Amino acid sequence: MRVCTTALLLGLSIVTAACNKGQPEQKAGPITRQEIAWREGDVDDAFIEARETGKPVLLYWGAKWCPPCNQLKTTLFKDPAFITETRLFVPVYLDGDSKGAQAWGERFNITGYPSVIILRPDHSEITRLSSSSAATALADTLRIAAKRTKSSDMLLKTAQQDPGQLSPEDWSVLANFEWQNDPRHFADPATAAPLLDRLAAAAPDPALKRRFSLLALSVPAKPDDSGKARLSPADQQRLITILPPLLASYAEVKASRQELSGQTAPLIAGLADPVQRDALGAQLTTALDHVFADGSLPLPDRLATVQADIDLAKAKTGSVPAAVLAKVRERAAWADRSAKDPAVRQSLISNAGDLLNAAGDNAGARKLLAAEIPRAASPFYYMLDLAGLAEDGGDKKAAIEWSRRAYEAAQGPATRVQWAVAWSNTVLRLAPADQAQIERSADAVMTELGKSPDSYYQRTRMKITAWGKALKSWSDQHQGSALLKRLDEKMTTVCFNQGAAQTSCKGWLHTA
């Protein structure tokens, strides 16, 4: 249902895998307490200035309609401490729909909106930031990163070979690193687990040990269909050792609220001992209720805490009991009442709809999102959500109609390609016998891609490649070779205008 990588989601990782287009509110200019002096789209100029001044580049890749991007706009990017530290950088904002944005995304291995990375003037990466930590911690990380000459390659190599050589500043950077969205070093996030294990063993204080231990368990975790993570006996012992003291420290709970809200319930559900499962589950929900009650935290972080209630209930009985459903409805209504600013609502209401649907209230989720469309700045985002909700509810016709409407309303060249792909994929799944509609939606993808020469990079390329695989699979099962041939011929013309990306574009069907 979600177009962004959502990943990540909760305090919503600044570099993630999610969503897509958050426009910083101010253009470049003198920094005040209320604004960051973003350069908008001038990546080359930003690096020229970086070389002249010796300052690192703070690169933010976002999209206007992306919920976590809007959360950054209304929280971290307005935090006085964070703004102050950005004076040490050349901050540049790159909208995913701007010219050349997808190529920059490929160059810097950015796959999801929003993403924030810090780079040296020579383009080498210093670190990627994760907003699962408090804004003050990220401000401290910025202050450290501004003075660093060590690249992320060097830092990770030291961490791997001899973590005892890590400095206090190194530990601070690693604790706030975006472990779940670094495709250059960890194409599969699970490959980060051994390094996180080493860091947990070597961490210089108990809180850091627990932080890295939780990351080592949660980053590679892949819950099964019942919502339970598969844990070895050693991992189970590790979880029951680190979690109680972590949950007893509110400072640690806040620092790890992303993992606790979205990824820890399946770990608890994977414990073999039902008494331990129930005890730790109760401790987790109590700790997250304290996060929800913390008015200093962003609204999306507070709302996301109820995800753990849903996950624990489903893993235990396969369904959500009335008490948990009532809690989810209460939190969704609270979100609806509390979010006044349009950007805040964009970062919150779709999440509330997801939670209602996950708790079994598909009708309530539809009602909430449908009511948001008339007042939303990016209504096409909610339309695609509604397509997913209709599909979840078994209404295939409505799902296809909402996905078509979402594409037609979408704005921005890269976004329109992505939404056209979503429409076509919905048709492939739900109306595989309707070749006319499949061809019409596929033509929309090619039309949009053809409007953007030399844009076949990163997210666009990934979406088109996956879509090509889906079309190939559909053709194999529904005698669609003639249609596939027509589409491939049209794509040849589109790829001709994709500049340096011609070769990869021509391989969109993976026929080679």
> Do 498 and 455 form a contact (C-beta atoms < 8 A)?
yes
Please, which pLDDT band fits residue 26 given cuts at 50, 70 and 90?
very low
Q: Which two tokens stand for residue 63?
A: 């999209």
Give 162's DSSP letter. -
Q: Which two tokens stand for residue 14?
A: 């600044």
Q: Which two tokens stand for residue 484?
A: 């596939």
**pLDDT reading at 17 higher than 70:** no
% of the chain beyond a pLDDT of 90: 61
> Any bridge partners for residue 115, and if so which?
61
Please, which pLDDT band fits residue 131 given cuts at 50, 70 and 90?
low
Q: What is the pLDDT of residues 204-233, one digit of tens each?
A: 999 999 999 999 999 998 899 999 999 999
Q: What is the pLDDT of residues 174-190, one digit of tens each?
A: 988 888 878 888 888 88
Q: Which two tokens stand for residue 72?
A: 């950054």
Task: Map out the domains of the chain as residue ranges.
Answer: 1-189, 412-512
- Letter for the amino acid at 351? N
pLDDT at position 181 = 79
**pLDDT reading at 14 higher than 90:** no
Q: Which two tokens stand for residue 190?
A: 């699970």
- Letter for the amino acid at 73? K
pLDDT at position 133 = 57
pLDDT at position 132 = 58
Q: Which residues contact 14 (CB under 8 A, 6 or more apart)?
A: 60, 68, 72, 76, 114, 115, 116, 128, 129, 130, 131, 178
- CA 32 to CA 41: how far, in whole Å? 21
CB atoms within 10 A of CB 1: 18
CATH topology of domain 1-189: Glutaredoxin (3.40.30)
Q: Quick one: average pLDDT of 145-164?
A: 91
- CA 248 to CA 250: how far, in whole Å? 6
In this structure, the chain runs to a length of: 512
- CA 390 to CA 385: how far, in whole Å? 9
> Do 21 and 418 form a contact (C-beta atoms < 8 A)?
no
